[in-house]
Structure 1
Amino acid sequence: MGRTKDAIAEGLSIATAAARLTVRNRILVETIARGGQFDGEVFADFARETLRALAEEQDQAADRVTAQRKRAWGRFSDSSGTHDYRDRDTRNLRRRARQSRGVAKELREFAADPERVGILVAAAREAAWGDVEANLSQRLDVEGMTADADPDYATMRRARMDALRMVDLARLASQAKKRAKEQAAARGDDSEAPAPKKKKSSPA
C-alpha cells in the first residue's frame, strides 16, 4: 500500500507541474503577447479546467490498463511485445490502474480547493513574469553586443531571436494600440473643427 501511495504522490506532483506550465503559458499568451489584463479568477477557472482534464486523462489510462489486464488473464504463453501482457502481468496492471485512479481523484480534489488553485495560479504567474524579466535582460545584452565581440554571435542569433519574440510581440502590440488611439483622436479633432469662414469681397 505504501508503494501505491508513493506512486500516487509522484503522479500528482508531475501532473501539478504540467498544470502549472500550462497556466503559465496561458498567462504569457493572454497578458503579454495579446496585451490583456491579468484576472486571477479567469486564470483560476482555466487552472481548474486543466486539472480536471488531467484527471480525465488518468481515468482513461486506468481504463486502458484495466482492459489490458482482462485480456491478459489466463494467458500463459510467451509475450510477443511490450504491451502483449500475460497472466503474470495482471498484478502489476491492477496496481497501475489503481495508481491512475488515485491520481485522478487527487487532481479533482485539487481542482475543488480554491486555496490550492490560487497557489498554483500565483506560482504560474511568477514563472511567467520571470520569463519576461529574463528575456528583457537578454535583450539588453544582445543590443549591446556586436558580432566582433561575440565569436558565437552567428550561431546563437536564432536562439536569441526566439527568446526575444515574446517581448517584441508585446512591444509591437503596445505600439499598434498607441497608433490606433492617435489616429482615432486625429479623426475626432478633424470632425469637430469648424469650417473656415468665407472672406467677404470688398466692393469695387
Structure 2
Amino acid sequence: MGRTSDAIAEGVSIASAAARLTVRNHILVETIAHDEPFDAERFAPFAVETLLALADEQDAAADLAQRQRKRAWGKHSDPHGTHDYRDRDLSNLRRRRRQYLGVAKALRAQAEDPAAVRALVDDSRDAAWGDVEKNLQRRLRAEAARPDLDEDYERMRSARLQALVMVDLPRLAAHRRHLAAGRGEAGLDSAPGPM
C-alpha cells in the first residue's frame, strides 16, 4: 500500500503545482491586465474551481483506467501497442485507478478546506509577485544601463552592434518599407537596446 500512497502524494504534489500555476496566471491577468486590486477572497472561488477541475481530470483518468481494465480482462495475447492492455496488466490498472481516485479525493478535500484554499491563493500571489519582480528588475537593468556601471559593457559591445546591424536595422528597414507602401502605421515590436 505504500507505493499507492506514495503515488497519490506525488500526484497531489504535481496537481498542486498545476493549480498554483493556473491561479498565479489568473492573478496576473486580473491584477495587471485588468488593473484590479489583489484581494485573496476574490481569488478563492477561482482557486476552488481550479482544484475541482483538476479533481475531475483525475476522476476521468480513473474511469479510463477502469474501462481499459474491463477491455483487458481475459486477453492473453501479445499487445499491439503501449495502451493495448492484457490480463496481466489488471493489477497495475487497478492500482492506477486507486491512485487517480486518491488524488481526486485529496484535491476535493483541499477545495473544501478554506485554509488550504487560502494557502493556494497566497502561494500563487507570491509566485505572481516573483514574476513581476523579475520583470521589473530586468526592465530597470535595461533602462538604467550605463556604460560606466556595466563591467561587461566593452566586452559585449561588439555583440550588441552585431545584433543592431543584423536584427534591428533590417527590422527598421522593413517597417519603413511597410509604411512607405501605405499599408498602415504599425509600431516596431521592440526598440534597439543600448549600445
Q: TM-score, normalised by structure 1?
A: 0.72
Q: Determine helix, strand or coil for the equivalent of 1:81.
A: coil
Once the two structures are superposed, what CA deviation does each residue of 1:151-199 show, in whole Å capped at 9, x if it has no partner?
55549x99xxxxxxxxxxxxxxxxxxxxxxxxxxxxxxxxxxxxxxxxx
- Matched residue type, 1:11: G
1:84–1:146 distance in 2 versus 1, CA, 3 Å:
farther
**Corresponding residue number in structure 1 for 2:139:** 139
1:146, distance to aligned residue in structure 2 (A)? 7.9
Once the two structures are superposed, what CA deviation does each residue of 1:89-142 show, in whole Å capped at 9, x if it has no partner?
011000000100000000000000000110111111011111111111100111
Q: Does 1:99 align with 2:96?
A: no
Q: Does 1:26 align with 2:26?
A: yes
1:144, distance to aligned residue in structure 2 (A)? 3.4
1:49, distance to aligned residue in structure 2 (A)? 0.3
Provide the rounded CA distance (Å) in 1 between the counterparts of 2:81 and 2:90: 16
**Corresponding residue number in structure 2 for 1:76:** 76
Provide the rounded CA distance (Å) in 1 between the counterparts of 2:53 and 2:31: 23
* Paired residues, number: 157
Q: Which runs of 5+ in 1 are unaligned?
A: 159-204
Q: Determine helix, strand or coil for the equivalent of 1:49.
A: helix
Q: Which runs of 5+ in 2 are unaligned?
A: 169-195
Provide the rounded CA distance (Å) in 1 between the counterparts of 2:41 and 2:84: 46
State how 1:179-190 maps to structure 2 within 5 Å: none
- Matched residue type, 1:90: L
Percent of counterpart pairs with the same letter? 64
State how 1:82-93 maps to structure 2 within 5 Å: 82-93=82-93
Provide the rounded CA distance (Å) in 1 between the counterparts of 2:136 and 2:107: 35
State how 1:1-204 maps to structure 2 within 5 Å: 1-145=1-145, 149=153, 150=156, 153=160, 154=163
What is the aligned-residue RMSD (CA, Å)?
Answer: 2.2
